[in-house]
Amino acid sequence: MPLRLDASAPGFEKEFSAFLGRNRDTDENVDRIVAGIVTDVRARGDAAVLDYTRKFDWADLQPGNLRITDAERDAAAAKVPPAQREALEFAAKRIETFHRALLPKDVSFTDATGTRLGARYRPVDAAGVYVPGGTAAYPSSVLMNIVPAKVAGVGRIVMVVPTPGGVLNPLVMLAAKIAGADELWRIGGAQAVAALAYGTQSIKPVDKITGPGNAYVAAAKRRVFGQVGIDLIAGPSEILVVADGKNDPAWIAADLLSQAEHDASSQSVLIADDAAFAEAVVNAVDLELKTLPRAEIAGASWRDNGAVILVKDLAASTSIIDAIAAEHVELAMEAAPAEALADRIKHAGAIFIGRHTPEAIGDYVAGTNHVLPTSRAARFSGGLGVSDFLKRTSIVACTPESLAVLGPAALALAEAEGLGAHGRSVSIRLNRR
């Protein structure tokens, strides 16, 4: 059964703190294993990638067929039924429209001293996108990672996807084609992340790696950070549903299970102001689990990591919501109070407002990105977007007159820090020889 908490009960703060401190990460040995894989791929390149692909993906490949050809991609994509093709194209257009609106503008102005200041944005040269291909295929993740990179103007987009048994997933191949991936490679796991970061005899390295994956992929991204940029370290999925007693319990149960079905380590939390309604939701979850295809996974997630938190007033639950800092926050309430509460929330990967906005809409077709911070990382980061594929460069241009205004203060600070060459580079231009 999920954890039950009452915000008005004695000892709530202690229990809630313990709940927030739970570790849902997997085996501590993962990082040690990944370290060996990354080191091996860096040393042996293709040979190491092929060895790990045989071991983990049951695919006996050769260097010549690591890459998925356009013909192979197109043949697989052709198998997708028309309705699914149309849905992917519909989603891609919405994602592109939203992310184009996020493009930052270059800045340039001249201040009162006559110094020109500015900032310009330029894309990374190459981005690597990791697409999961294990227990489930996620064509939506292909769109969410590649479309923003294309909008940002990245010149080379490299997609890696594991193909267990050597089988290409038609939906994933179609999504890659629609989104515009430049290269597709049939590799996955930590070995794929290492190949993207350091390059191999076949694969040229990239500058940034994005995309979700399992614990091994997350550990590999953490390990190669610095050699390349990464988007974020994605942990198990999360959803926090804030719901009043006027909701249909079955709707809320379905919402909670929409993330629980991802992984047994996922977390679903309900905040409610009505004890009878909360109990009805718990019962509805049990009913849903009887017919859900991924019931074993979702059931374990709900049992081991789920929580129901009772509060007296949903409008006053902001501190609890912000403390959880969930990946997804649903506000299943009337429009006006939901909007008001959303305005006060500081920490959330994405907020879904109103009874008719299930989180799943954001996963697929809203247009916003579903690659979001987990494990309370929404306290300090946001979801994937075009800015992840752009670099900001500052611009400074002094005239002799503006340097005369700025220089003395710069010289004073350089001298205060004991950095003589810094000061000299300024004073020599001010004729203070």
Which residues belong to the active site? 327-328
Q: What is the DSSP letter of 403?
A: H
- Judge contact between 242 and 274, C-beta under 8 A: no
Q: Name beta bridge partners: 394.
A: 119
Name which of 253, 205, 249, 200 is nearest 227 in CA terms. Answer: 205
Q: Is 257 exposed, middle or buried (0-12, 13-18, 19+ CB in 10 A)?
A: buried
What is the three-class DSSP state of 399? coil
- HEC string of 201-256 equals CCCCCCCEEECCCCHHHHHHHHHHECCEEECCCCCCCEEEEEECCCCCHHHHHHHH
Could you tell me which residues come within 8 angstroms of residue 142 by beta carbon, excluding any fewer than 6 positions away?
129, 131, 159, 172, 175, 176, 179, 181
Q: Let me know: does 184 contact 67? Beta carbons within 8 Å.
A: yes
Q: What is the largest CA-CA distance in the chain?
A: 84
Q: What residue type is 25 in one-letter code?
A: D
Strand partners, 242: 271, 331
Place of tokens 């969410």: 144
Q: Which two tokens stand for residue 257?
A: 């299970």
Radius of gyration of the chain (CA): 25
CA dihedral 208, 210, 215, 219 (to 10 degrees): 10
CB 237 within 8 A of CB 269: no
The neighbouring-strand residues paired with 196 are none
Cβ atoms of 364 and 140 within 8 Å: the answer is yes
Contact between 255 and 352 under an 8 Å Cβ cutoff? The reply is no
Q: Give the H or E element holding residue 109.
A: strand 107-110
Give which of 143, 230, 163 is closest to 194, Cα–Cα: 230
Region for 75 from its dihedrals, namely left if φ exceeds 0, alpha if ψ lies in -120 to 50, beta otherwise: alpha
